[in-house]
Structure 1
Amino acid sequence: MEKLEATRTYWLTTNDFDEGNYLKPAAVLNYFQDIASWHAECLKAGYSHLLAANKIWILLKNKFVLYEHPDFFSRVKLSTWPLTTEKIYYPRAYQMKNDDGKIVGEGMSLWAIINLNTQMVTRDQWFLGTRFKDEQPLSFQKKIASFDQETFIDKYTVRSFDLDHYHHMNNAMYANLIHLVADRLSLLPLTNLEIHYLRQAKINDVISLYYHEDEQNIYITGKDDAHQIIFSSLIEKT
């Protein structure tokens, strides 16, 4: 039996590209989020279905690799499929192709389900089906390293336009903060990025942005006023 995937075609818009005509990291993650949400609705596991059961999805990790940047005003075909649920974790894979059918990018996300009554991750699994591809294009770091010696770059105050319908900072918007730091350090364009979401940022929260670098990787971290990590990210040097 053929293993399934969900596919949609997207026209990339001017807002998806930076001043160098490179696809923004936030645009990549926004398209991942869009097709994942659409596919979850198709599987009766979307926002409305979970909310009816007093549950919501929460995104724990995101990762993408671009093998080449799509052209300005081009069209991409984005595919996604859920992988086998791992206890409380729901991994999902992504693949991006250009009009010629060439794979130009791949990605992964890792989700869990929160019970709104307890505000805790639930162990009750939500069935997504079994007929999907089992190909995992990328793997996550178990944990992104943290460092005592980091360089402070800037602060960002969360605005209303950063929020999603849960009144938290939209997961794709964190990539804009990473983009800001990468731009300051002349690291653009980014061809890969992994983000781990550790705490939720809300309106008027101030996120302090820090940078660290070693021989293999670049680390960009966002922290709150108590110096607790909101998100950590890793960019592999290429």
Structure 2
Amino acid sequence: MYAFDSRIRYSETDSEGRLTLNALLNYFQDCSTFHSEDVGLGIGYMKEIGQVWVLSAWQIVVNRYPQLGEKVRIVTLPYELKAFLGYRNFAMLDEKGEYIAKANSLWSLLDVATGKPVMVNEDMRRGYGIDEKLDMDYAPRKITVPEGGQLLEPIVVKKHHLDTNHHVNNGQYVNIAMEYLPDDFVIRQMRVEYKKQAFLDDVLHPYVVQTETGYIICLQDEEGRLYVSVEFLR
């Protein structure tokens, strides 16, 4: 397990002074990045070997959204490395050690030059180690998208959407999708299925479907091929 401590900042809160889902996702993403850097498997190492970890799926379950100023601990637990896949849990805990949120994620290891999967190497196995899976209700990775949705105005990918891999950061997709939720919608679970990478000047076409329990929002290209599907549940 890898962990770091933090405090909820004003810049991470919504109009009610609570941590936003996007900020929670960023905490989790930062935790895995810190972990990789601290065990010598960070951005520099990955550039040197010409490989990149690409997020394939998220599941985040939120018990509550912490308030401005709360002290929190963020943890990550890699629990399986198999072929070219990496499985990681995340959690945010309060000062009493109670879970604020839990998450599961699936990552794919790709060769930067070819875009094809490559096998996890021994450095990664030794550096990350393996922990026990968190106790949580694991949802399927695949998101079924119903018909009957609505296509909305397209969005052009800008520089601020990109990360160090020069494609749209996984959290930016979620941030874009959340813009289509009603203002009073409280997210208790989010699932994300990433299908392909979007780059600068690509055009994202939002497709929004309301379900009995929430919303499914897809960002796709002009031919209907998915970049990402996001499911938000109350």
TM-score by length of 1: 0.88
Q: 2:109 aligns with which of 89, 93, 113?
A: 113
Are residues 212 and 114 of structure 1, via their aligned partners in 2, closer, same or farther at CA, if it must alter by over 3 Å? same
Q: Does 2:129 align with 1:133?
A: no
Deviates more, 1:87-96 or 1:128-137: 128-137
Deviates more, 1:207-216 or 1:62-71: 207-216
Checking the alignment, whether the CA contact within 8 Å between 2:217 and 2:229 is kept in structure 1 is yes
Using the alignment, how far apart are the partners of 1:136 and 1:123 within structure 2?
A: 28
Are residues 81 and 52 of structure 1, via their aligned partners in 2, closer, same or farther at CA, if it must alter by over 3 Å? same
Checking the alignment, whether the CA contact within 8 Å between 2:85 and 2:120 is kept in structure 1 is no
Are residues 176 and 50 of structure 1, via their aligned partners in 2, closer, same or farther at CA, if it must alter by over 3 Å? same
Q: 2:195 aligns with which of 193, 198, 223?
A: 198
Identity %: 20
SS of 2:178 mapped into structure 1: helix
Q: 2:82 aligns with which of 80, 86, 90?
A: 86
TM-score by length of 2: 0.90
Are residues 15 and 188 of structure 1, via their aligned partners in 2, closer, same or farther at CA, if it must alter by over 3 Å? farther
Report 1:34-113 matches (<5 A): 34-113=30-109
**CA deviation vs aligned residue, 1:87-123 (integer Å, no higher than 9, x gap):** 3210111111112322111112211111123220113
Q: Does 2:154 align with 1:155?
A: yes
Deviant stretches of 4+, over 4 Å: none
Following TM superposition, by how much is the alpha carbon of 1:65 offset from its aligned partner in structure 2, in angstroms?
Answer: 1.2
Give the match for residue 22 of structure 2. 26
Unaligned segments of structure 2, at least 5 residues: none
SS of 1:121 mapped into structure 2: coil
Report 1:202-217 matches (<5 A): 202-217=199-214
Using the alignment, how far apart are the partners of 2:130 and 2:51 within structure 1?
A: 25
How many aligned residue pairs are there? 231
Checking the alignment, whether the CA contact within 8 Å between 2:92 and 2:100 is kept in structure 1 is yes
Unaligned segments of structure 1, at least 5 residues: none
SS of 1:72 mapped into structure 2: coil
Letter in 2 for 1:78: I
Q: 2:118 aligns with which of 110, 118, 122?
A: 122
Give the match for residue 186 of structure 2. 189
Checking the alignment, whether the CA contact within 8 Å between 1:78 and 1:96 is kept in structure 2 is yes
